Structure 1
């Protein structure tokens, strides 16, 4: 019998955990042990007492491997819930990027024009450079960066993806 390997699919996971030392390393270790890359990772405290955090992980894996990863995440003691937002249905994903662009003359004018089109805000400016703040989906940010490369991209800092399910239910 020949087993067909299923292609990897992009998944966004929301993992709610007790905020304790070492949990992030343990979670990352599950991915490392299987040879899967974490494409985006964000962590933030989500309760007023700072006792609980939400980890948002974007990765690619076949459906059977993703099921195994989720099952193993759920078995970790400090993990409260694991939600595969991709499978759960409609969700919103956003990312923030700080983008430094250097240039003078026409390149400077073009950078400002493109920033306006992409609704990027100038958060710092000198006579020879700008730092733009741009938020949106991954595709929007990727396209903005591609265009900024043509007019003097110097440096990029990206937050990683924040994601939340649509509707009234919590993940």
Structure 2
């Protein structure tokens, strides 16, 4: 008896497509027809003119993602699909967070922003808007820290990612950094 040990997890797909009208609609339609949720989606020009890179985060087990990849390849204008989930990558997101502040806690909010190397992009008597760039874990961490002040609004771009040519895993780099300190 063979057991399926493949677990549902978040997969990061990097998809190169021809930059033509309707491509994103066809991809979204494929996901909708199959009942898939796209948790994060970022689209922009790639390194070649006329080509766009779509980075999406999709929950599923390995076999489901493999089937989804095969379906994506059947779509017109899809050039390449890579599941980069297990590949060492540079990952980034951009997030804007509007936080409630008072005269007494404003300095504390600014300090939290400084710790996370975030920038203050707007300030008023009762709010501070913070711009954060970093990996998805950093986004979760700063939101947890800012929640106690009262978050009024959040806007996130979704994850973008490129594979590391060095093939060095960032978890490995973090463990080395921890040993040095």
Same fold (TM over 0.5): yes
- Look up the match of 1:37: 37
How many angstroms does 1:153 deviate by? Answer: 1.4
Residues in 1 aligned to 2:4 and 2:15: alpha-carbon distance in whole angstroms = 30
- Structure 1 stretches of at least 4 aligned residues deviating more than 3 Å after TM superposition: 1-6
Partner of 2:125: 127
- What is the CA RMSD across the aligned residues, in angstroms? 2.0
Q: 1: CA distance between counterparts of 2:130 and 2:163? A: 28
The TM-score with structure 1 as length reference comes to 0.89
Distance of aligned partners of 1:168 and 1:116 in 2 relative to their CA distance in 1, 3 Å threshold: closer
User: For structure 2, which runs of at least 5 residues remain unmatched after alignment?
Assistant: 168-181
Measure, in 1, the Cα distance between the counterparts of 2:69 and 2:58: 12
Q: Which residue of 2 aligns with 1:74?
A: 73
**1:158 CA drift (Å):** 0.3
1:128-155 deviation line (CA, Å, top 9, x unaligned): 2211101111111111112111013111
Alpha-carbon distance change, 26 to 150 in structure 1, aligned in 2, over 3 angstroms: same
CA distance in 1, matches of 2:32, 2:16: 20
Q: Tell whether the 8 Å contact from 1:102 to 1:129 is kept in structure 2 after alignment.
A: yes
How many residues are aligned here?
167
2:136 to 122, 135, 138: 138
Evaluate the alpha carbon distance shift between residue 92 and residue 134 of structure 1 in structure 2; reply closer, same or farther with a 3 A threshold.
same
